[in-house]
Amino acid sequence: MQITILGSGTNMHPRRAAAGYLIATDRPILLDFGPRTLPNLLKTGLDRHTIQHLIFTHYHADHFSDFITFFFDAVCHALYGGGSRGALHIYGPPGTKRLFGTLLDTIPVFSSAPFKVMLREVHRRPFHIGQTKIIPIPMTHTDSQVCLGYRFAYQGRTASFSGDAMASDNLIKICRGVDVAIMDCSFSSRSPGASHMHAEQCGKVASEAQVKKLVLSHFYPLADRSNVVKQAGKYFSGKIIKAKDLLHLQV
Ligand SMILES: [Zn+2]
Ligand SMILES: [Zn+2]
């Protein structure tokens, strides 16, 4: 399994794209699609028209908004660009069908897509994309919507993605023993905030879940100005990486 970080920041970060990850197993899978992640996806060299599987953790704009540009481009490519593409499968928390149903019905050109768009709401039930097993579990984030964390397993290797999350038993569960855990580290431990973890909490979760490698991501600009790796390292003695855009991880 290979993971490329398309975005390690948040909505308005000056140097980082917002949330997005490209996971390559026996096919490419995109997890979240925040602002500025699409240009980073192009930089990976992957043909974007080969992407058939999009997974969303939740629908705050910093995890979602580049889908609009991606989908408009996909429809134009298939309609006018002489290209073709296979079906697009979109997976996400409850509300996925309503959100994409509305977008596809409302935005000009979207309803003309000459390829199938399959919408699937996942909650706790594991599903497969090719040979990759994916387990979704609700995280603790905000009260207004469900945010799902995901655990990926492929050819004996495992990775977990917290989405946006505070520390919880469910987060520890999806991270249990994984080769790589990518976590929401929105804040420095010196200036914690609501709805997300700070670095020390990420370290605690990684330690409790006994992950092999911790990747800190989803930084607000303030978190960038303190040593989050050192803070997480107070509680976790394994390898800790501070994510950056286009960082490539071989899992
Ligand atoms: Zn969020
Ligand atoms: Zn977020």
Whether 81 has a pLDDT exceeding 90, the answer reads no
Amino acid occupying residue 92: G
Q: Cα separation of 54 and 245, whole Å?
A: 19
The pLDDT assigned to 209 comes to 98
CA of 24 to the centre of ligand 2 (A): 22
Query: Which residue did the predictor score with more confidence, 84 or 245?
Result: 245
- What average pLDDT does the chain have? 97
CA of 139 to the centre of ligand 1 (A): 11
The pLDDT assigned to 82 comes to 81
Whether 24 has a pLDDT exceeding 90, the answer reads yes
Instruction: Give residue-wise pLDDT tens across range 27-64.
Output: 999 999 999 999 999 999 999 999 999 999 999 999 99
pLDDT bracket for residue 84 (50, 70, 90): confident
Specify the length of the chain in residues: 251
Q: Which ligand is nearest to the CA of 59?
A: 1
The pLDDT assigned to 152 comes to 98
The pLDDT assigned to 113 comes to 93
Whether 10 has a pLDDT exceeding 90, the answer reads yes
Q: Which ligand is nearest to the CA of 146?
A: 1
DSSP 8-state symbol, 198: B
Reference 175, options 155, 195, 201, 193; nearest CA is 201
CA of 170 to the centre of ligand 1 (A): 17
Q: Which ligand is nearest to the CA of 7?
A: 2
The pLDDT assigned to 83 comes to 78
The pLDDT assigned to 72 comes to 97
Mean pLDDT across the stretch 65-83?
93
The pLDDT assigned to 70 comes to 98
Report the topology of domain 2-244: Metallo-beta-lactamase; Chain A (3.60.15)
CA of 218 to the centre of ligand 2 (A): 7
Sequence ranges of the domains in the chain: 2-244
* 3-state SS class at 68: helix
Q: What is the DSSP string of 200-237?
A: HHHHHHHHHHT-SEEEEE---HHHHTS-HHHHHHTT--
Whether 123 has a pLDDT exceeding 90, the answer reads no
User: Residues of the chain with pLDDT > 90: what percent?
Assistant: 96
Q: Which helix (H) or strand (E) holds 28?
A: strand 28-33
| Number of DSSP helices (H) and strands (E) in the chain, helices first | 7, 14
Whether 166 has a pLDDT exceeding 90, the answer reads yes
pTM of the predicted structure, to 2 decimals? 0.97
pLDDT bracket for residue 124 (50, 70, 90): confident
The pLDDT assigned to 119 comes to 98
The pLDDT assigned to 16 comes to 98
